[in-house]
Amino acid sequence: MEARIATLPGDGIGAEVLDESVKILQGIAKTYGHTLSFEDGLIGGCAIDATGTALPEHTLEACRGADGVLLGAVGGPRWADPLAEVRPEEGLLELRQALGLYANLRPVRLYEPLLDASPLRPERLSGVDLVVVRELTGGIYFGPRQEAHKNGGTAFDTMVYTAEEVRRVAHVAFGLAQKRRGKVTSVDKANVLASSRLWRCVVSEVAEEYPDVELEHMLVDAAAMHLLRKPADFDVIVTENMFGDILTDEASMLTGSIGMLPSAWLGEGHGGVFEPIHGSAPDIAGQGVSNPMAAILSGAMLLRYSLGLEAEAQAIERAVEAALDEGYRTPDIHVDGSVLVGSEEMGDVIAERIE
């Protein structure tokens, strides 16, 4: 197969983790006889420096024309001034909205060799394998907003949902649950928020179309607790934009490190965008010590969801598992007795393990 992939490294460690992901995809292309081409684009802080905007038109066009997009990370202290006119993060938000990618899949899978790397006790973690489906183009991220510094000391953000926005992401969650263990946990704050009460009604309605899937509703504060108390009970979690942002950072620690979590932004009419859920980590950028596994596993998700190459995606996932099994670790997941490697070496180790 022939496919065009847009690569957007962004800021901080974005470029170094993306390099490793591209290396692995090139290895897959060679092994399986595919032709993948890569085109770089600017996004985030580096795009602001070069063009004045976080998502230049040229980048958006490259993404529209690509079969799939691989993204690194954006942001950093240089662009963190709360009074700044443009922010690197706007690049992500605009890209999500422009491409209509409303469903964010964030699989949280514990690789057994990393049981000792998580801050939680191993007996709580065994069997953790869940996916968070985070709504990505609505809610408080996109509702009406007022900045205080422009308007006399009152600021607000608004959480807005239409029934249709809830319905389409609920379908993604139920469809996914059918292929997994058949359970959806819908997370909201229906005891307080009107948008959550709509969310709960619509999700219950959609559930009727999936009699083989069990639905439970959970309040977001309780979900934050149960993620630590009984994480293996979750299968698919579906939730609104900001709740999903927060819960996935929390859930990442079940796997040992946020450097392990890949993600996919999906919608209709575009192949999707794939990115590690970690940020640009300016504190370690340029040192070559970042964990490229989340970016590499995001590449696997691109093969699976944009290109329909399931066997190839699994080959990457197995290679990551093999590297961990053999004890290779970047500093974020390092424990006594493991083999400490940097980003590039980890990429090489994984590349060599692709059958």
Our answer to whether residue 141 is catalytic in this structure is yes
Our answer to whether residue 305 is catalytic in this structure is no
Q: Do residues 46 and 18 make contact, with C-beta atoms less than 8 angstroms apart?
A: no
The smaller minimum CB distance to Mg ion, of residues 28 and 103, is found at: 103
Piece of 159-167, 211-219, 240-248, 250-258 that binds Mg ion (CB under 5 A): 240-248
Among 66, 277, 285, 297, binds ligand IPM (CB under 6 A): 277
245 binds Mg ion (CB under 5 A): yes
The smaller minimum CB distance to ligand IPM, of residues 102 and 210, is found at: 102
Q: Do residues 141 and 89 make contact, with C-beta atoms less than 8 angstroms apart?
A: no
Task: State in angstroms the smallest separation of the CB of 204 from Mg ion.
Answer: 28
From residue 88 to residue 127, the character string flagging contacts with ligand IPM as x (rule: CB under 6 A) and all else as - is -x--x-----------------------------------
- The active-site residue, picked from 161, 189, 305, 328, is 189
Our answer to whether residue 111 is catalytic in this structure is no
Our answer to whether residue 249 is catalytic in this structure is yes
* CB proximity list for 174: less than 8 A, separation 6 or greater: 184, 206, 207, 209, 210, 213, 236
* CB proximity list for 201: less than 8 A, separation 6 or greater: none
- The active-site residue, picked from 11, 23, 111, 141, is 141
The smaller minimum CB distance to ligand IPM, of residues 92 and 307, is found at: 92
**Torsion, Cα of 131, 135, 137, 139 (10° steps):** -140
Our answer to whether residue 189 is catalytic in this structure is yes
245 binds ligand IPM (CB under 6 A): yes
| Binding footprint of ligand IPM on the chain (CB under 6 A) | 89, 92, 245, 277
Residues belonging to the active site: 141, 189, 221, 245, 249
